[in-house]
Structure 1
Amino acid sequence: MTELSDTGLATRRRVLGPDHVARAQAAQTPFDAPFQALITDAAWGHVWSRGTIPLRERSMMTIALLAGLGNDGELALHLRSIPNTGTSRDDVMEALLHVAIYAGVPRANHAIALARRIFAEADAEGGQA
């Protein structure tokens, strides 16, 4: 591993949680190993690890982008990770209000329904998402 990979993996663990990263690593195959290396280095090492803006703002941007693009699986993952980034549920709503204006009401409506479900599940489990 390189220093960039180490940094990316540490940030990925901090944001998504060590359990998620361990599951992703355990499920890795020789086929998808290059993709896992790419996202660890590029997304987590280059972008998420930059010190220019806090994780809270990166989380809000990511949630807005994923919602606007309709990437529900990744959106759910990032909604569950908000306690790790200092992002509040109010912050999520602010991001999704921007989605409504700039990406469309149907995308925001769908993302809000997904967030409500994830937050309800977290509340039922005594979690913090």
Structure 2
Amino acid sequence: MSHLTDRGTATRTAVLGADHIARARAAQTSFDAPFQALITDAAWGHVWSRGTIPLRERSMMTIALLAALGNDGELALHLRSIPRTGTSRDDVTEALLHVAIYAGVPRANHAIALARRIFAEADSTGDPA
């Protein structure tokens, strides 16, 4: 394993949780292994692991970008990860307000509805998200 892989795996685990990483590894096939290696090294080992801004701010930027682009699956994953990044629900609200202004009200409206569902699920199960 490379330095980026080690660093990326550690950061990805810290943000998304060990359970998510275990599920991703268990589901990995020879077909998607190169993609998993790419996102571990590039997204998590290089970008998310940079020390220039804290995980909270990276999380808020990621949530805003995913919402603006309509990437619901990834958005849900990152909304569920906010307790591990130090991002609050109020921070999510602020990020989605920016989405409304800069990417459009329909995208923000959809993302807010998704966040409400995820937070309601978390509240009903006792998860901190």
TM range (shorter): over 0.9
Cα deviation 1:93-127 (Å, max 9, x = unaligned): 00000000000000000000000000000000011
Deviation at 1:3, TM superposition (A): 1.1
Cα deviation 1:71-105 (Å, max 9, x = unaligned): 00000000000000000000000000000000000
Answering whether residue 6 of structure 2 is matched by residue 3 of structure 1, we say no
Q: How many residues align?
A: 129
Letter matched to residue 32 of structure 1: D
Letter matched to residue 113 of structure 1: A
Cα deviation 1:28-48 (Å, max 9, x = unaligned): 000000000000000000000
Letter matched to residue 20 of structure 1: H
CA distance, structure 2, for counterparts of residue 4 and residue 70 of structure 1: 29
Deviation at 1:18, TM superposition (A): 0.4
User: For residue 103 of structure 2, what is the aligned residue in structure 1?
Assistant: 103
CA distance, structure 1, for counterparts of residue 81 and residue 122 of structure 2: 11
Deviation at 1:65, TM superposition (A): 0.0
What is the RMSD computed on CA atoms of the aligned residues?
0.3
Percent identity, please: 86
User: For residue 63 of structure 2, what is the aligned residue in structure 1?
Assistant: 63
* 3-state SS in 1 of match to 2:127: coil
Moved segments of 4+, more than 3 Å: none
CA distance, structure 2, for counterparts of residue 25 and residue 4 of structure 1: 17
Gap runs ≥5 in structure 2: none
CA distance, structure 2, for counterparts of residue 4 and residue 112 of structure 1: 34
TM-score (norm 2): 1.00
